[in-house]
């Protein structure tokens, strides 16, 4: 079993982000206060902390396989089926994608399904899946 990571991010609007992570991404809530909320982020602990006046930094991009990938970003490697389910759920929610759901490195080592979008506070998220999970760390 992989140990879960813990990630804490600042947000200006706790309730808007709470609804996004809970209702759009389907993350269950854990402990919370008036200033923060824990989420089960696909088996990992994500905490959003309300920070009035927080201004998200402007993302930079890096070219990867013909796309401009936002940096920084975070997300999860899902199963192939779960990635497709999430992709359809995000499309149904009229998500604006930074990078539309696509297959990257097609026919090469590390072939993967990927998509990028921003949360309500402009934090970039990537969800990906490998058809062959043994290629996750392949070179």
Q: Are 36 and 30 in contact (CB under 8 A)?
A: no
How far is it, in rounded angstroms, from Cα 100 to Cα 46?
Answer: 24
Condensed to tens digits (0 to 9), the pLDDT of residues 37-84 reads 999 999 999 999 999 887 777 779 999 888 899 999 999 999 999 999
For the chain, the average pLDDT equals 93
Helix (H) or strand (E) holding 66: none
pLDDT at 32: 97
CATH classification of the domain holding 102: 3.10.180.10
Same domain for 46 and 84? no
Question: What pTM value is reported for the model?
Answer: 0.91
134 secondary structure, DSSP code = G
Same domain for 69 and 98? yes
Structural domain boundaries, residue 22: 6-50
Same domain for 129 and 86? yes
Q: Residue range 9-21: average pLDDT?
A: 96
How far is it, in rounded angstroms, from Cα 10 to Cα 75?
Answer: 16
């Amino acid at each position: 079993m992989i140990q879960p990571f813990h990630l804490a991010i600042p947000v200006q609007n706790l309730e808007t982000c709470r609804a996004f992570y809970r209702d759009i991404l389907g993350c269950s809530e854990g402990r919370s206060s008036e200033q923060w909320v824990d989420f089960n982020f696909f088996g990992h602990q994500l905490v959003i902390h309300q920070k009035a006046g927080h201004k998200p930094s402007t993302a930079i991009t890096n070219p990867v396989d013909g796309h401009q990938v936002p940096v920084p970003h975070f997300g999860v490697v899902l199963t192939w089926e779960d990635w497709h389910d999430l992709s359809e759920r995000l499309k149904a929610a009229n998500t604006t994608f930074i990078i539309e759901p696509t297959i990257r490195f097609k026919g090469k080592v590390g072939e993967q399904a990927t998509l990028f979008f921003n949360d309500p506070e402009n934090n970039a998220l990537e969800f990906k899946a490998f058809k062959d999970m043994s290629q996750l760390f392949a070179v």
